[in-house]
Amino acid sequence: MYEAPTQADGEEARAFHTDEYLAILKEANDGVFKEKYAGYGMGPGDNPVFPGMYDFSLTVLGCTMTAARLIGEKKVKRAFNMAGGMHHAMRDRASGFCFINDIAVAIEYFLSKKMKVMYVDIDAHHGDGVQAAFYDSNRVLTLSLHESGRSLFPGTGFTDEIGEEKGKGYSVNVPLRFGTDDATFIWAFDQVFEPIIDKFNPDVLVSLVACDMMHTDPLANMNLTSEGFLHAVRKMREKSTRWLCLGGGGYNEFNTARLWTLVWALLNDIDLPDELPEEFVKKARTEGFQLHGLMDDPYRMGEWRKQEVMTEAQNSIRDIKRTIFPMHKIKVKKGFFDDLFY
């Protein structure tokens, strides 16, 4: 039996965050706001000061690091912390509901074990904190598919953000138009994920499998269903030898529970029945959530919008194949631009 997760200590967080920021975060643990906290991204809005915020952040980090160590010590091949995935937190400030970047700390741990890391983010919001953490590194390749920064926080993640210095070519972004559906997302994911992971050949895959690209999510503007979401998750499992999986965003709590249950089952080779438990569906509807009784989501987007979202995805993939692919000597078949249209 594997050890239970324990709360991390501040020392562990120092692998990524500055001492000054961690000291401020610890001071704010009493929940009393001070003006100086605003300089570290905390205050009214996305990152409120609340009692126990430092303890909470260390608990999330502890769970992620327990999973990372199990993988790094080769005790397990795959591990999932659905409470993890604080991908917006920066070295010296909070951002986007995120105070301690457990992903960056876990990646630093894998790097200390001389492991090459690929990070894949399918949150509706661009994984800016993780990208910034390793923007100049060629030992970490970050791939983020997300709603375009033109229509959603944090306003970054465009195709020209490709890394710098040694990390040039190791930051890959696929911004997608608001309203993107399963077909477009699956097409875009398949265009980049497999060629890149095959060429980079990481020792460990770290991924954020957020649920806020779903058409039911109240904080984003995408139109995915479980079909598009699980396609990416299955591909990540197929192509990884060791895999740290983290939850990330998802603001329709019942659909998030449904989708992360599917991820957990996939990681554990469990086939679930398609029918949701009756009590779960009843509770969801009682609380005002429009939830059907199946694990799979039958929603389909109207035809009128499909060409708009596909065109933007095609433009993003074209940019990546013109810039990133040559840097890694990834072969592109002659005339591939013709295949971008259908």
**Residues classed as catalytic:** 88
Residue burial 48-68, b: 16+ Cβ < 10 Å; e: rest: ebeeebbebbbbbbbbbbbbb
Could you tell me the strand order of the sheet in which 78-81 lies? 78-81, 243-246, 204-208, 117-121, 140-147, 171-176
Q: Show Cβ contacts of residue 43 under 8 Å, excluding neighbours closer than 6 positions.
A: 33, 37, 49
Closest among 213, 151, 154, 210 to 180, alpha carbons compared: 213
Separation of alpha carbons 206 and 200, rounded Å: 14
Q: Show Cβ contacts of residue 19 under 8 Å, excluding neighbours closer than 6 positions.
A: none
Q: Do 101 and 189 meet the contact criterion of CB atoms below 8 Å apart?
A: no
* DSSP code string of 119-187: EEE--SS--HHHHHHTTT-SSEEEEEEEE-TTTSTT----TT----GGGTT-EEEEEE-TT-BHHHHHH
Q: Do 47 and 89 meet the contact criterion of CB atoms below 8 Å apart?
A: no
The structure tokens listed for 37 are 């906290």
Q: Do 162 and 323 meet the contact criterion of CB atoms below 8 Å apart?
A: yes
Separation of alpha carbons 106 and 103, rounded Å: 5
* DSSP code string of 48-101: ---TTHHHHHHHHHHHHHHHHHHHHTTS-SEEEETT---TT-BTTB-BTTBSS-
